[in-house]
Amino acid sequence: MRIVDKPWGHEEIWAEASRYAGKFLIIRKGLRLSRQYHRHKEESICVLEGTLSLEIGPGPDQVVDLSPGQSWHIAPGTVHRFCAPHGDVRLVEVSTPELDDVVRLQDDFAR
């Protein structure tokens, strides 16, 4: 497993293969990832701990709160953002292997 520090928390990448990837995302309370989409990457997430606020769409956004055990599929081209407004969040993500396929539309950390 390798850990990748992020300004919003960190990723624990536990699987990298030619056709899939798996990682845990730990998002600290009050922080959020970029509003983004992927050109090729397809992913599914499942919340393990905390409540994830998932913003979907380029705007006006649909916001879905996901509790532990709830999951969501994100197809390529879908604008989305993971947020942890209520407390720390831990989720598992499985995806196609294009981990660097990120098009940021807005970012709190000016990346």
Q: pLDDT for 52-109, tens place per residue?
A: 999 999 877 799 999 999 999 999 999 999 999 999 999 999 999 999 999 999 999 9
Residue 64: strand pairing partners: 54
Q: How far is 97 from 31, CA to CA, in rounded Å?
A: 25
pLDDT band at 28 (very low <50, low <70, confident <90, very high): very high
Domain range holding 83? 2-106
Residue 35 belongs to a domain: yes
Q: What is the pTM of this model?
A: 0.94
pLDDT band at 45 (very low <50, low <70, confident <90, very high): very high
Residue 82: strand pairing partners: 54
Residue 61 belongs to a domain: yes
Q: How far is 107 from 100, CA to CA, in rounded Å?
A: 16
CB contact at 8 A, 81 and 55: yes
Q: How far is 17 from 51, CA to CA, in rounded Å?
A: 29
Residue 21: strand pairing partners: 16, 95
Tally of structural domains, the chain: 1
Give the mean pLDDT of 25-36.
Answer: 98
| CATH code, 46 | 2.60.120.10
| Per-residue pLDDT at 73 | 98
Residue 17 belongs to a domain: yes
